[in-house]
Amino acid sequence: MDTLIRADVEAHPEEIVQRIKDGAIFIHPTDTIYGLGCDATNSVAVRKLRELKQRPTNPFSVWVPSIAWIRKHGEITPKAEKWLQQLPGPYTLILRLKDKKAVAKEVVVGKETLGVRYPNHWFGKIVAMLDKPIVTTSVNKAGEPFLIALSELEPDIARGVDFAIDEGEKNSRPSTMVDVEKEEVNER
């Protein structure tokens, strides 16, 4: 596993984008905690990430390249519109998908909805350059504590990761889940 810092990523953004397009599994910082990611449109990569997390069926959330992407692929009701005004921010908005091909079927596993993130974080420039969503899920095996520092990365997960971007210790908690239609807010 290659370990990079922000300066490495910003010096070679095209290389990072290409690695993601080529199916890399990677650890990325967010505005909240570290995320485990891959190209959300690449079925093979998403299946590898599922195996790594030992999470066979629960849906994954995605970090989208823009709010325009959300508008194009999600059903935007007045309730959803209210929450879109809160972005970018530390929220995962659960929206009904109107375009089932917007992400690999392995991301949503039979669900009609998708959790979307649009964080206020510098790594968003890479996601925007990619111009498609990435999976973003906590760095851990299902049911275990999430990662706050790369120095605490489990060896089993490290073996399945192509690269990691180290931003130091993240003293936060996962994003707030918002089911926009049910108006349910779940602080995690």
Give me the domains of the chain, ranges plus CATH numbers.
2-186 (3.90.870.10)
Q: How many residues does the chain have?
A: 188
State pLDDT tens for residues 93-146.
999 999 889 999 999 988 899 999 999 999 999 999 999 999 999 999 888 889
Beta strands in the chain (DSSP E): 2-4, 26-28, 35-37, 61-63, 91-96, 113-117, 134-138, 163-165, 176-179, 184-186
Could you tell me the pTM of the whole model?
0.95
Number of Cβ within 10 Å of residue 73's Cβ equals 21
Beta strands in 25-169 (DSSP E): 26-28, 35-37, 61-63, 91-96, 113-117, 134-138, 163-165
User: Is the pLDDT score of 188 beyond 70?
Assistant: no
